[in-house]
Amino acid sequence: MSEVRNILLIGRTGNGKSALANVISGTNKFREIEDSVSETKELELEMFGYQGIKYRVIDTVGIGDTNLKSKDVLNKVAKACYEVREGLNQIFFVIGGRITEEELETYNLLKQIIFNEDIYSYTTIVRTRFTDFEDERRCEEDKEKISQENEKLTELIRECNKLIHVDNPPVKGRSATTNKEIREVSGERLLKHLIYDCGNYHPISLDRLNERISSYLTEKVQIKKELEDLKKFQVEEQIKMEAERKRYILINSTLYRL
């Protein structure tokens, strides 16, 4: 049986992740919508071929889905990661411009509990909805603008395989024909990147993945509780000190009158 190269899509809800899945696979199998509620509730995948190579694109639930808890999103993304346990050609980290802390945190979770530091070499940041994607100067200016947002983001862009600009406009209305051509050019750019710039990554064993995620989330909740308890203790101590100060002033005032 010939090898199938896996492409994993992750990103925030509304960044055009599902549209990108259609662009790459040359299909309309993934439902596209611009909203804060992800249409992808479970992982979706599609097989396709390019230059004699079989690929499988895997779309995941969107980060920041208003209808899902963070734990649910992480578990669903982890389920998609389990699908690529035998090998991963590339992670496409889909952004719409500005990257949020939530997106960075989710990516770091993937690195810590599913993959490892090697994940950087197999991650391509894909900037969607960039109309000037064929203008290298404008792409470079946008890259500089994005990387200046914060230190973590600068490091991520520096460590990752590449940042690629594409456009994935909707194929409907008067501009349907033009938009379809734009999507085809964007898709070709990404597919050539997969052929010439991407190797195959074999992640660590994922047999106990759910257990590791549960352990991480439990630890995170525990740390949060400890911080809240510490804050509460500090407030209580502050109240006690203030009460002692007032008592001391009252005693001194009473003694002075005597």
Q: Which residue range forms the structural domain that includes residue 219?
A: 209-258
pLDDT score at 148: 83
Q: 21 and 42, same structural domain?
A: yes
- Is residue 208 packed enough to be buried (19+ CB in 10 Å), middle (13-18) or exposed (0-12)? exposed
Assign residue 35 the CATH number of its domain. 3.40.50.300
Q: Which of 207, 233, 249 is the last residue of a domain?
A: 207
**Lowest-confidence pick of 176-180, 187-191, 230-234:** 230-234
The total number of structural domains that make up the chain: 2
pLDDT score at 34: 61
Q: Which of 191, 207, 223 is the last residue of a domain?
A: 207
> And the tokens for 145?
């603008």
Judge contact between 9 and 92, C-beta under 8 A.
Answer: yes
Q: 67 and 17, same structural domain?
A: yes
Q: 215 and 100, same structural domain?
A: no
Q: 51 and 16, same structural domain?
A: yes
Q: 98 and 57, same structural domain?
A: yes
94-149, pLDDT tens digit by residue?
Answer: 988 778 787 887 777 777 766 777 788 888 999 999 999 999 999 999 998 888 87
pLDDT score at 171: 80
> And the tokens for 232?
């509460």
Q: 225 and 256, same structural domain?
A: yes
Q: What is the distance, to the nearest Å, from the Cα of residue 163 to the centroid of all Cα atoms in its chain?
A: 14
Q: 177 and 218, same structural domain?
A: no
Q: Are strands 44-50 and 90-95 parallel, antiparallel or unpaired?
A: unpaired
Q: 173 and 258, same structural domain?
A: no
Q: 88 and 58, same structural domain?
A: yes
- Residues of the chain with pLDDT > 70, as a percent, come to 74
Q: 213 and 201, same structural domain?
A: no
Q: 51 and 111, same structural domain?
A: yes
Q: How far apart are CA 203 and CA 186, in angstroms?
A: 28
6-28, pLDDT tens digit by residue?
Answer: 898 988 888 888 899 999 998 88
> Residue 1: pLDDT band by 50, 70, 90 thresholds?
very low
Q: Which of 164, 184, 207 is the last residue of a domain?
A: 207
Which single residue is written with the structure tokens 């940042």?
163
Q: 191 and 227, same structural domain?
A: no
36-75, pLDDT tens digit by residue?
Answer: 445 555 678 899 999 999 999 998 877 765 555 666 666 7
